[in-house]
Structure 1
Amino acid sequence: MIETIELPWRFGIIEVPAPDRYIRPAIEVTGEYSGDEFDLYQAMLRAGDVAVDVGANIGVFSIAMGQAVGKTGRVLAFEPQPLIFGTLTRNLARHGLERVEVQRAIVSDVEGAGQFADVRTLPEGRKVNFGTISVTSRILPEYGGMSPTPVVTLDRLELVRCDLIKIDVEGAEEAVLRGAVATIARCRPILSLECDRPNAASPWVDGFLASGYSLWRFRGTNLRVPNPNGVPIDGVANYTSIMALAVPPERHDALNRVDRTRLQPIDSRETLERLSRNIVVMNGS
């Protein structure tokens, strides 16, 4: 079985899978993970807001959302990987966020029964970026298998209020959006979508622009200085975090609360595709 470890970070202790090769080293070195994106959600959300985290992983950004919306708000977090879902649930409890509603499910455009990769063991010394395991991933029998997993849509939640939806599902963002058409039309939330795969990001651009949304590319980094551990990051691989923000005009005040230097306007599908290709691995920066 894959073990998890507890690491000190900016809010106390957080649990991560021991063989994680992406989040674990970031927290070990700096005491945080993707702090720019963490701060983005905390700046955009307010007490009493409702947020949805699709592809919650171990819960770093669910924690950000839960802290921001407070006891009067609501956060719904979805994560399909069995190992990671357990870690997510424990991390939320550790941070006093048991009120965050968690579900082990695949979020898509249909309801039903599906399967998701369940990594249960790895060769000694093998490291994995669990965040890149997707709905299309398959696991060799000696390392685990496929776990029965419900498939849900956001529209079936029938939310009467939704202020922000974050979607990070390794190229399946379009399916999540198709299953949230009614929710988006009714609630007009801010959306944050991973866009490091240009072809996956582009199909929804025209629809959002036509409905009056403004689109922005947000660029953060996996590691940053200053950081909670007060350490330099020279010689450590530092990855850019590429996301697209879709913001309706009635929520533009949220943009005034974020670091505008990290935002670039997107006026077309071609612009997003060009910016999404610009993912840099920086060493010694």
Structure 2
Amino acid sequence: MSSLDRMKRLTRRRSAAASPSAAAESAPAPAQPGAPGDAARALVEPAAAETTPLYDSDAVIDCVVAYNKYGGYVVPRQASHRVAAKAVIEGGVYEPQTIELIRAECGEHDVVHAGTFFGDFLPGVSSGLAPGARVYAFEPNPESYRCAAMTVVLNDLDNVELVGAGLGAQPSRADLLLTQPDGTYRGGSSRFLKASDPPMDGTTVEVPITTVDAMVPADRQVSVLQLDLEGYEQPALDGAMETIRRCRPLIVLESLPEADWIAAHLRPLGYRRAGRVHYNTVFRPSAPPD
């Protein structure tokens, strides 16, 4: 059983335990008039102005729970300066037109959503799916993945399959840059280091890479493929070509592959640019395959 499944099961158990009947059975007896308050006060240790945590602060995520019209989100506090995090913390929606496009185009089939961050797209996309359809969501940043997993549980998103890995041309491992040289957390702009990159300062972590073709079963139909991968879209598309040929989904990309790659891989399948939505370019299979 995955950690995400265990988290969902624990949440359901707590929900059941919090039912009216259970609450009535477990509720403490009301205090009697005139009972001293010292005993109750003794149950609480006041917060100190300065205290040394008794937990591993590197392992416990400092997060904010925020809500917008689609649901609730667990946002890593150190990413609160990022545009997507700020929008959600303030009750707004990040890239609302992109979410609405995915909801409008998903039809009866599945959605691939990569660059999940803390799950800012997940409640909106999940609630737009037809019964039986799924979201295959990918997030390689370990902290963002954990927050996205909690966002899934917070909203009880049973149609989301969240994968703690990046996407590439083949299964492998890669170094993910987590911070700026000054230590500022990159959050949703965490990016993979390429062999051609100059030396870069900042915290990195080695993470797994998988492919869309490896993770989406051959008997599933994908209607939308949406990638926000900080310049790693082309390798991810290389690893999704079997799914693209089979399903011919709408493709939404934040960063474009090289023009020669588009001409060699997408144009023969009938794909044409169909406009932009926020920072993304949309490709639609508007012509028959060659």
TM-score (norm 1): 0.68
**What is the aligned partner in structure 1 of residue 218 from structure 2?**
159
Instruction: Give 1:60's aligned amino acid.
Output: D
Aligned-pair distance for 1:250? Answer: 7.8
Structure 2 residue aligned with 1:26: 87
Q: Which residue of structure 2 lines up, in the alignment, with residue 202 of structure 1?
A: 259
CA distance in 1, matches of 2:167, 2:131: 25
Match of 2:112, SS? strand
Alpha-carbon distance in 2 for matches of 1:185, 1:34: 28
Q: Distance in 2 between matches of 1:32 and 1:203?
A: 35
Corresponding residue for residue 244 of structure 1: 281
> Displacement of 1:81 after TM fit?
0.4
Aligned to 1:176, which of 212, 225, 236? 236
Number of the residue aligned with 2:187? 130
The SS at the match of 2:102 is helix
Which segments of 5 or more consecutive residues in structure 1 lack a partner in the other structure? 220-240, 252-285
Deviation by residue 1:110-145 (Cα, 9 ceiling, x = unmatched): 1123343456xx98xx754411111118664xxx54
Residue 19 of structure 1 aligns to a residue in which SS? helix
Kept in 2, the 8 Å contact 1:173–1:201? The answer is no
Q: Return the offset for 1:30.
A: 5.0
5 Å-filtered alignment, 1:1-285, equals 1=58, 3-20=62-79, 21=81, 22-29=83-90, 31-46=92-107, 48-117=108-177, 128-136=185-193, 140=202, 145-147=204-206, 149-157=207-215, 158-160=217-219, 161-195=221-255, 200=257, 202-206=259-263, 207-219=265-277, 241-249=278-286
How many equivalent pairs are there?
219
What SS does structure 2 have at the residue aligned with 1:169? coil
Amino acid at match of 1:180: A
Which letter maps to 1:205?
I
**RMSD (Å), alpha carbons:** 2.7
Residues 147-177 of structure 1, C-alpha deviation per residue, up to 9 Å, x if partnerless?
4x22211122343321111111110111011
Q: 2 CA distance for matches of 1:93 and 1:201? A: 38
Q: Which runs of 5+ in 2 are unaligned?
A: 1-57, 195-199
Which one has a larger percent strand, Structure 1 or Structure 2? 1
Please tell me whether the aligned partners of residues 194 and 244 of structure 1 are also in contact (alpha carbons under 8 angstroms).
yes
**Contact 1:194 1:201 (C-alpha < 8 Å) held by counterparts:** no
Amino acid aligned to 2:72: I
In the other structure, the counterpart of 2:3 is none
Deviation at 1:59, TM superposition (A): 1.4
Q: Read off the aligned partner of 1:41 and give its amino acid letter.
A: I
Q: Structure 1 residues 167, 93: closer, same or farther in 2, change over 3 A?
A: same
CA distance in 1, matches of 2:262, 2:249: 15
The AA in structure 1 aligned to 2:157 is L
Paired letter, 1:217: G
Q: Which amino acid aligns with 2:159?
A: R
**Comparing 182-191 and 130-139, the one that deviates more:** 130-139
Percent of aligned positions with the same letter in both sequences? 22
Quote how far apart the aligned CAs of 1:69 are: 1.3
Q: After superposition, what is the alpha-carbon deviation per residue over 1:209-256, rounded to whole angstroms, capped at 9, x for unaligned? A: 33212212323xxxxxxxxxxxxxxxxxxxxx32111111389xxxxx
* CA distance in structure 2 between the aligned counterparts of 1:88 and 1:57, rounded to whole angstroms: 7
Shift of 1:208: 2.0
User: What TM-score do you get using the length of structure 2 for normalisation?
Assistant: 0.67
